[in-house]
Amino acid sequence: MCNITDTLTRIAFDASWKEAVPEADNLNNSKDLSELFHRLNNELGIILSHAELLEAKCDQDKQRSRAAQVVAAALDAMGTARQIRAHVNELTLAK
Categorize the per-residue pLDDT at 94 as very low, low, confident or very high, splitting at 50, 70 and 90. Answer: confident
**Residue of 14, 31, 19, 22 lying closest to 84 (CA atoms):** 14
Q: How confident is the model at residue 92 (pLDDT cuts 50, 70, 90)?
A: confident
Mean pLDDT of the region 47-52:
95
Task: Encode pLDDT of 1-33 as tens digits.
Answer: 345 555 556 656 655 555 555 554 455 566 788
Distances (CA, A) of 21 to 79, 83, 88: 21, 17, 11
In order of 25, 62, 92, the CA distances from 75 in angstroms are 30, 20, 26
Give pLDDT, residue 5. 55
Model pTM greater than 0.75?
Answer: no
Q: In whole angstroms, give the CA distance from residue 55 to residue 61.
A: 9
